[in-house]
């Protein structure tokens, strides 16, 4: 494959391959990105590879959610105990939580629309980009991955699917926070007690406020690695097609209304 570096000789690049992952532009549905931001602030930005913004919103969500007891109020609401839901909410933190939560949804939607426009311009420009990165710590290159294999690993342990498709930054972030959620929710202790048939003890040991973070974490990890597997496969095929066309296709080769003309 070609080994071109993104040296700012083009206005826009479709992708960049580095030792920590492959970052690329592709068309995304703004409503889906906004939905993930609503499910968990920061997830929408991580899907866009806007890591710093995504990390900031994610950490804010965890910290302020716990302080405001939002998850605790949700649990009481699910049980139909509205009075207790109102009682546990801490309005001092809640009033800070709401604006940032709405901002995350709005900003991820706006950014997706902008990045879709940039992708269309980059696709039209079709400038070369690096497809191979070799460093002292890692090697990364464009290759095809099986999306279902990525999902399978993510459902076992979130973050493994990202390692499979070589999204190192996202993988590390997901794995670290999975450990935090596991530890704080005591979910693994509850699973062991459940296997031992001690259902009441398993229920009592759980910390529901932390437990509610885990389903979103699993869902995001599976969706992120699935989508990126598909898009990386498309990028690999496009890059290989361009390389073969440039280096092996005859200059006299033409296609006219679906017919080859020599």
**Looking at the domain assignment, is residue 1 inside a domain?**
no
Cα angle for residues 42, 48, 53 (degrees, 5° grid): 40
What predicted TM-score, i.e. pTM, was given to this entire model?
0.87
Helices marked H in the chain — which ranges?
A: 30-39, 43-47, 51-68, 70-78, 82-88, 91-125, 147-156, 160-164, 168-185, 187-195, 199-205, 208-211, 213-248
Q: Are 39 and 221 in contact (CB under 8 A)?
A: no
Q: Record the tokens describing residue 39, joined without a space.
A: 């499910």
Go through 222-240 and write b for each residue having 16 or more CB atoms within 10 A of its CB, e for each that does not: bbbbbbbbebbbebbeebe
Q: Are 4 and 132 in contact (CB under 8 A)?
A: no
**Looking at the domain assignment, is residue 7 inside a domain?**
no
pLDDT along the chain (262 residues), means of 10: 56 86 92 96 94 95 92 86 86 89 96 94 85 88 93 95 93 95 93 89 89 94 95 91 82 66 54
**Looking at the domain assignment, is residue 172 inside a domain?**
yes
Contacts (Cβ under 8 Å, ≥6 apart) of 25: 12, 13, 14, 15, 115, 118, 119, 122
**Looking at the domain assignment, is residue 45 inside a domain?**
yes
**Looking at the domain assignment, is residue 6 inside a domain?**
no
pLDDT of residue 86: 84
User: Dihedral of the CA atoms 107, 110, 113, 119 (nearest 10)?
Assistant: -50
Q: Record the tokens describing residue 40, joined without a space.
A: 């968990």
Contacts (Cβ under 8 Å, ≥6 apart) of 76: 82, 84, 85, 88
What are the CA-CA distances from residue 235 to residues 13, 210, 238, 242 (Å)? Answer: 12, 38, 5, 11
**Looking at the domain assignment, is residue 86 inside a domain?**
yes
The count of domains in the chain is: 1
The domain of 46 spans 15-261
d(CA 45, CA 55): 8
């Amino acid at each position: 494959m070609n080994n071109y570096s993104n040296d700012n000789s083009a206005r826009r690049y479709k992708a960049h391959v580095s030792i920590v992952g492959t970052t690329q532009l592709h068309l995304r549905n703004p409503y889906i990105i906004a939905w993930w931001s609503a499910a968990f602030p920061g997830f929408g930005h991580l899907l866009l590879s806007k890591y710093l913004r995504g990390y900031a919103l994610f950490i804010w969500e965890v910290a302020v959610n716990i302080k405001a007891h939002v998850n605790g109020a949700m649990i009481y609401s699910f049980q139909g105990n509205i009075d207790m839901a109102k009682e546990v909410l801490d309005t001092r933190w809640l009033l800070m939580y709401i604006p940032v939560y709405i901002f995350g949804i709005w900003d991820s939607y706006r950014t997706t629309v902008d990045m879709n426009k940039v992708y269309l311009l980059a696709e039209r420009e079709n400038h070369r980009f690096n497809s191979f990165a070799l460093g002292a710590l890692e090697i990364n290159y464009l290759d095809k991955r099986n999306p279902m294999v990525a999902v399978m690993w993510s459902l076992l342990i979130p973050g493994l699917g990202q390692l499979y498709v070589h999204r190192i930054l996202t993988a590390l972030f997901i794995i670290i926070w999975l450990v935090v959620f596991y530890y704080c929710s005591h979910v693994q202790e509850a699973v062991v007690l459940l296997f031992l048939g001690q259902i009441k003890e398993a229920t009592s040991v759980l910390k529901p406020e932390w437990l509610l973070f885990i389903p979103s974490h699993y869902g995001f990890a599976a969706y992120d690695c699935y989508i990126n597997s598909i898009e990386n496969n498309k990028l690999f095929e496009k890059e290989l097609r361009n390389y073969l066309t440039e280096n092996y296709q005859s200059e006299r080769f033409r296609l006219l209304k679906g017919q080859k003309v020599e």
